[in-house]
Structures are given as C-alpha cells and as structure tokens.
Chains A and B, each alone.
Chain A
C-alpha cells in the first residue's frame, strides 16, 4: 500500500485552502462592506462555481489553462509549465471549487458584525489593512474559520474537475478520491476500502481539529 495519494491529497487540499483563505477572506470583507451597482453580479459570479457540476468546471478550466489556450500556451512557451497533468492543476481545480464556500460563509460573518467598530478604528488612525486584521477579522473569526473548514473539506473531496485538469497520475496528481475510483476501476477492492477509510478519518479529523481550535479561541476570548 503506497501512501502517495494521501500525501498528494493533503498537499493539494492544504495549498488550495491557504490560497483560498488569502484571496477569499479579504474579498469576502470587501463584498460585505462595498456598495456599488454591480455588487450583486460580482457576488453571483464568485458563487457560480458552487452550483456548477465539477465536470463543467473541469471543462471550463481546461479551456482556460489547457496547452492550446491563451494562458496555457503562454505558460508553456515562456515557463515550460502547464497546469494540466501537474499537481498545481489539482490545486487550481480545488481552489476554484472551494473558494466560493469560503467567501459565502466569511461574507455572512462580516455582514453580521456592526460596521461601527470598523468606523471607530478608522477614526483612531488605523489603515484599511489594520482595520481588517485587527477589527473585522477577529470579530468575524468564527464564521471565517467555518468557511476555511468548509473549503478544506471541499478541496479534500474534489474529484471531477481535478481528474479532468490534473489527470490520474499515481505519485504525482492521484489524490485519495481519484485513487479510490482508480482502485475500484481496476478491481482492487481491498485497496479501495483502505483508502476510503483513511480518507474518512483524515477528513473528519481535520474538521474536528478546526472546530476545536475555533471554540478554544472563543472560550479564551470570553474569559
């Protein structure tokens, strides 16, 4: 039993979740506070990947970064790099499917915090980044963490889009989900069972850890 798939799954899911957090949380704050005519449209576009089937997303991703696309061709000729058949493609697929969950949850969290605290911080001379880091984020902490947990779970479980973009390359892009599918296809049912049980424990364990971290920090805050 070789555990490359576990390593790859964790690598991909953690990387994509970190990216989703760095991009998604500030964006969620901006969406929560901004008021301009196109806001609803932007919001809908960001959340669109949530309602699209993973294979549809995989298709669009291939159109966007495949070797024959504008972006893909550029990356290939200048950097000799392609997302397709590479673990970064798996990260890209996981990022696209999981970020909307993070944004939606975090945005709701920011919206539920009175903006007067942010106004107070501004009157006290703080920059926008400081207002975000020291006021908005701590006060919406629980929702943000919930969003991160959701994104991580979604990334760990990603299958359809990942398979289409990153392919099924054992040791390189074969995640746990794909490995289970692969084992079933090849009739290696005991391998499939071991992988499935492992993925279950890993997923549940990670989420419990994040949940415990969230309630511990709010307990500390209350005392």
Chain B
C-alpha cells in the first residue's frame, strides 16, 4: 500500500501543513497533544477537508484541491477507530459490527459478525449494548466494526490511551496478532513512543502542525533529525555543549548513559526514580547539567542521593545537532 499525504488546513486558529508518504505495514503518527495528529487522520478519512493539497491512496486521489477532488467520507472505504470508540449506544454489539456491511445479505452479515467475534474474542457479548461493556471490550467491538467492511485503510486515533495499563499491554499484543490475521494497511496516532514502536514499521513525527521527520522506525528512532524529534522518540537527555569550538545540542538516551564507579566521578546523584519496569537515576554533572541514566537494579541497589559516580554516554551513541536559536 502507499499513502501519500500533502495537505494544508486551518481549524479554529490552528494551522496544519503536513506532508509524508508511507509504504507497506503500519505507520504511527507520533507527537505531543495538539501537534495536529488527529486533524491529519481526520483529513485522510475525509472528516475534515484541507484547504489545499492532495491525498492519494494506492494512486487513487481521495483529495486533490487543484483538480477539485474531494471524495465523500462514505466512498473512501477507510475504517476509523475514534478515540472514545463512538459505538452506537442504541445498537447491540452485533448490530454495531454489522453497521458498515448492511448491503450484504443477512447470511453474509451474520458470517462477518461471527468472524469478528471470533477474532476479537467477543463471544457471549453479541446482544449486549455498549453501556454494558468494559473499556477493552468496547475497543475490540470498535475494531470489529471498522474491519468488517474490509477497508482499504485502517485509521486509529489513540487506540489505547483510554485504557488502563494491563489492558493496554494485552491489547497491543492482540493487535499485532490481529494484523497477521487481517492484513490491512494501518495508520495510527499516538503520543506514546513505546506503543508506536511496537505497532508500526514507519514513524511520522509531528509537532506544531508540521511533520518533523518521517521514515522507517529504526531510522527515526535512532537518528532523529532534531532535538524536538529526539525528545518525542524518547531521548531523555538533551543539553547544550561545545564541540570543536562550535555550540551544539547533544542528545543521549538514558539507556545509553553509562554509570560507572571507575574513573574520575563527574556527577552527583540527586535521586533515583523507580518505575518498576525501569530504574532511573537523576544526576547533576559537575558542569551543572542534569542527566537521567538507566540503572541496572542488581548493580546499583546501594546507590544513595549524594553518591558520586562517573556518568558518560556510551561510545558512539551521542546524537549531535548544530545549535540554532529556538532548537
């Protein structure tokens, strides 16, 4: 599949200017709140009309301002998962799932619904109304509803943000399994870099209504083109430095910060932050820079605030960008 987006849009004082292309596999649009990710997604679906630009899916124009093409939503065959799922409250689970396939015969509809119920583990819930479902169940019904019509493209708006952590974990895994069963090109919007990385092959990083970087996830993840992108892909340490007499900005992941007892200590521990899955140490270097380093639990059980250690980036992992005003 190939999706090509190049649009400009204005909505309530916010201006969007986004351009990117994606290939096979899933694409994640990553960015902070208000970056314009949902607006971009809605434009692809046709729920919002850009002022200018074009959107092409597999060579078919969904939108083209110069040729005055603006395919109505219902003709785009794009499945959409809304942030709060938007399940029809007055219909049952089965009726919700069948909503987009009403033109097929009753027998075909029953078969499609039953297939979705199997795939998404919704057995026994067919006659329930959305009000009687848990968050995770609702999300699966919404997925089933969007997938039943065999869409050419599946769009998901923050699919897991409304769920608690355990549900999220299992659903991410389920989702990956689902995509093997139903091979549909997918674009999802999220502000969680871990989720983006797990679910997508391509990343599109957005900030302030613009695309900051797009490409295969490994490239974007490991070679962010600017400090802003670096922050969004989870580089926790970003600070100013001088290299070769020139001012630069340096980025180092917490996981690439090495904390050692050998060598001249150059930083003092302020506090440790234990997030269960990760143990982090916040240090202030002697040069006054605050850094975060990932610590291995076994080796640093005795670390107390005030301890002095040597903290430096692993060889070759520091990202360097030229300093520019407002970077």
Contact = CB atoms under 8 A, between A and B. Distances in A.
B84 A125 contact: no
Q: How large is the interface on A (under 10, 10 to 19, 20 to 34, 35 or more residues)?
A: 10 to 19
Given A116-B82, A116-B84, A123 B73 contact: yes
B80 to A, nearest CB: 4
Interface string A100-121: 0000000000000010110111
Contacts of B100: 123-126
A120 B82 contact: yes
A123 B79 contact: yes
A127 interface: yes
B114 interface: no
B39 to A, nearest CB: 14
Contacts of A117: 86, 88-89
A120 B86 contact: yes
B21 interface: no
Contacts of B145: 124
B149 A124 contact: yes
A77 interface: no
B45 A123 contact: yes
Given A125-B100, A125-B149, A120 B74 contact: no
**Highest count of chain B CB atoms <10 Å: which of A114, A120, A139, A221:** A120
Nearest to A135: B88
B104 to A, nearest CB: 11
A33 interface: no
B47 A119 contact: yes
A53 interface: no
A40 interface: no
A121 B80 contact: no
Given A122-B74, A123-B73, A116 B90 contact: no
Contacts of B149: 124-125
A211 interface: no
B11 to A, nearest CB: 12
A36 to B, nearest CB: 14
A124 B91 CA distance: 15
Contacts of B77: 125
Nearest to A114: B86
Nearest to B77: A125
A121 B80 CA distance: 10
B99 interface: yes
Interface in B219-257: none
Contacts of B102: 126
**Highest count of chain B CB atoms <10 Å: which of A123, A138, A221:** A123
A95 B23 CA distance: 58
Interface string A43-71: 00000000000000000000000000000
A135 B91 CA distance: 10
A38 B99 CA distance: 35
A216 to B, nearest CB: 15
B80 A123 contact: yes
B18 interface: no
Nearest to A119: B47
Given A116-B82, A120-B80, A125 B74 contact: yes
Nearest to B103: A125
A150 B78 CA distance: 41
Contacts of B76: 123
**Highest count of chain B CB atoms <10 Å: which of A121, A124, A125:** A124
Interface in A146-161: none
Given A123-B74, A123-B100, 20 more contacts: A114-B86, A116-B82, A116-B84, A116-B86, A117-B88, A119-B80, A120-B80, A120-B82, A120-B88, A121-B99, A122-B47, A123-B76, A123-B80, A124-B74, A124-B149, A125-B74, A126-B99, A126-B102, A127-B74, A221-B90
11 contacts: A116-B84, A117-B86, A119-B82, A121-B99, A122-B46, A123-B79, A123-B146, A124-B99, A124-B145, A126-B99, A126-B102
* Shortest beta-carbon contacts, A-B, top 8: A124-B100, A122-B73, A123-B80, A120-B86, A116-B86, A125-B74, A138-B90, A124-B99
Interface of A: 114, 116-117, 119-127, 135, 138-139, 221
